[in-house]
Every structure is written in structure tokens, then in C-alpha cells.
């Protein structure tokens, strides 16, 4: 895996993801004749299916993060350098914006937009923290149980999280920023972006803190075991 190819994969994969999220939202809203539940169902199913394809095909190239929160987690795990982390995040945000614009172009909408959709309040922020926490836990536990199952696990989790969270599970800072640039079904006001990203960041830091604590506890236990063994009479 070359660094350049990995960055291209993150750019293209995140762009495709946002084209799916925004495009399916537009199509779902147009065909549902005002039925928000039907529109959300179309949006969630398309997003889940798209995620499965994108992660399955691009994971061997870049890890298929498409999400700064996921990249931060893998940086903490030592699987991504700090320099690569910054580059990944830049590609993810850029790709997300390009994906939104692509969706607008496909549906003959003005390319440049800003959203007026209000998404704020304690319930929304709590939902984003829960959604992000659940996503990172799904990835970590999936990797531990069976790495090949991660694409399906993430796709199923996000599809479900669309429905059990009040925020419809953005769980991704790059997605959040880009969705402020579409005044369609999937949009979010610029004013509400900081609250979403703060909740996502808090959840990410919490997961990393718990993993750090667990690693320290394991290291301490191993040292105690070695000390006990060394001090035992032969």
C-alpha cells in the first residue's frame, strides 16, 4: 500500500459515501411524497449498502476510514503516523465536500448551497456521542472477533443508528462539515456543526482513554507477574 494511493482511496471513498448519503436523501424525499419515514428508510438502506461496498473494496488500500474519528483511533493504535493522520483528515474533508457537490450535480441542484436544517439540543448531541462511541466499538470488537466481518458490521450498525439516534447518526466530523453544504434532506445548519463535532470528539477521546487505561492495566499486570515469577524460589 503506497501512501499516495491510500490518500486517493480516502478522498474517493469519502466522496462516494457523501454522494450516497446526500443523493439517496434527495431521491428518497422526492419519491416519498412528504413521508419522512420512507425517506429516512431509503437514506439509511442506501448508506448501509454503500458503506459495505466501499469498506470491502477500499480497506486493503487505505483501511477505508472515511472518518477523522476512525483515523484518530488507528493513529492511537500505532497503525497511522501523525503525518498520515493529518493527510487522511484533509482528504476525508475534501472528499466529503466533493461528494456533496457531486450529488447536487446529479440531481440538477445548485452546486453551492448552505443548509438551513436545524439539528441542535442535548438530545442531538447525546445521540452523536452515542453513535460515534458505538461505531468505534463496532470496529474494534469486529477486528477482534473477525476482521473480515467489519464491512458488514459497520454497514449494519450505521443503518440501525439512523433509526435509534435522534441525530440520524452522523458519527463523523468530515460528514458533518460537508452536510452543512447541502440544503436537502441530509443537511445540517453551520451553526449546529460545532456541537455535533464536539460530541463526536468527546466520544472518540473517551474510547481512546478507556483503551489507554486498559493497556496500562495489562502492562502493570504483566510486570507484576514477571516480578512474582522472578522472585519465586527455584
What span, in angstroms and rounded, lies between the C-alpha atoms of 134 and 172? 12
Query: pLDDT tens-digit profile of 70-81?
Result: 999 999 999 999
Q: Let me know: does 158 contact 171? Beta carbons within 8 Å.
A: yes
pTM of the shown model: 0.92
Query: pLDDT tens-digit profile of 173-212?
Result: 999 999 999 999 999 999 999 999 999 999 999 999 999 9
- 3-class SS of residue 96: helix
pLDDT at 229 (0 to 100) = 65
The more confidently predicted of residues 229 and 156 is: 156
pLDDT at 88 (0 to 100) = 98
Angle between helices 122-145 and 150-164 (to 10 degrees): 160
Mean pLDDT of 48-67: 98
In the predicted model, is pLDDT for residue 89 greater than 70? yes
- Give the residue extent of every domain in the chain: 3-221
pLDDT at 216 (0 to 100) = 76
Which CATH number fits the domain 3-221, given the four candidates 1.10.1660.10, 3.30.70.270, 3.40.50.10210, 1.20.1080.10? Answer: 1.20.1080.10
Query: pLDDT tens-digit profile of 103-134?
Result: 999 999 999 999 999 999 999 999 999 999 99
pLDDT at 233 (0 to 100) = 55
- 3-class SS of residue 2: coil
Mean pLDDT of 35-41: 97
CA angle (142 as vertex; 53, 204 as ends), nearest 5? 95
Length reported for the chain: 234
What span, in angstroms and rounded, lies between the C-alpha atoms of 99 and 11? 9
- 3-class SS of residue 82: helix
Confidence class for position 100, pLDDT limits 50, 70, 90: very high
pLDDT at 215 (0 to 100) = 80
In the predicted model, is pLDDT for residue 227 greater than 70? no
Share of residues in the chain with pLDDT > 70 (%)? 93
- 3-class SS of residue 181: coil
- DSSP letter string, 119-167: --SHHHHHHHHHHHHHHHHHHHHHHHH-GGGHHHHHHHHHHHHHHHSTT
Confidence class for position 214, pLDDT limits 50, 70, 90: confident
In the predicted model, is pLDDT for residue 220 greater than 70? no
**Alpha helices of the chain — where are they, by DSSP H?**
3-31, 36-62, 68-76, 82-106, 122-145, 150-164, 173-179, 193-231
pLDDT at 83 (0 to 100) = 97
What span, in angstroms and rounded, lies between the C-alpha atoms of 99 and 117? 19
C-alpha separations of 87 from 81, 99, 134 in Å: 10, 18, 25
**Which contacts qualify for 55-58: CB closer than 8 Å, 24 or more apart?**
55/150, 55/151, 55/154, 55/155, 56/151, 58/9, 58/12, 58/13
What span, in angstroms and rounded, lies between the C-alpha atoms of 12 and 126? 30
Query: Any idea which residue has 433509526 for its cell?
Result: 163
In the predicted model, is pLDDT for residue 226 greater than 80? no
Amino acid at each position: 500500500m503506497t501512501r499516495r494511493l491510500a490518500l486517493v482511496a480516502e478522498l474517493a471513498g469519502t466522496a462516494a459515501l457523501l454522494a450516497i448519503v446526500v443523493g439517496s436523501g434527495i431521491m428518497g424525499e422526492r419519491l416519498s411524497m412528504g413521508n419522512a419515514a420512507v425517506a429516512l428508510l431509503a437514506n439509511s438502506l442506501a448508506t448501509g449498502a454503500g458503506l459495505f461496498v466501499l469498506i470491502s473494496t477500499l480497506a486493503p488500500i487505505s483501511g477505508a476510514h472515511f472518518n477523522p474519528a476512525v483515523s484518530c483511533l488507528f493513529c492511537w493504535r500505532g497503525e497511522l503516523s501523525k503525518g498520515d493522520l493529518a493527510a487522511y483528515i484533509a482528504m476525508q474533508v475534501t472528499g466529503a465536500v466533493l461528494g456533496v457537490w457531486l450529488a447536487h450535480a446529479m440531481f440538477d441542484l445548485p452546486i453551492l448551497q448552505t443548509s438551513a436544517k436545524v439539528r441542535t439540543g442535548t438530545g442531538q448531541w447525546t445521540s452523536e456521542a452515542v453513535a460515534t462511541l458505538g461505531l468505534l466499538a463496532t470496529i474494534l470488537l469486529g477486528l477482534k472477533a473477525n476482521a473480515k466481518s467489519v464491512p458488514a458490521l459497520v454497514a449494519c450498525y450505521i443503518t440501525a443508528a439512523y433509526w435509534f439516534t435522534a441525530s440520524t447518526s452522523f458519527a463523523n466530523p468530515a460528514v458533518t462539515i460537508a452536510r452543512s453544504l447541502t440544503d436537502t434532506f441530509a443537511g445540517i445548519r453551520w451553526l449546529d456543526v460545532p456541537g455535533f463535532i464536539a460530541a463526536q470528539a468527546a466520544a472518540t477521546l473517551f474510547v481512546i482513554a478507556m483503551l489507554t487505561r486498559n493497556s496500562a492495566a495489562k502492562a502493570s499486570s504483566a510486570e507484576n507477574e514477571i516480578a512474582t515469577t522472578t522472585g519465586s524460589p527455584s
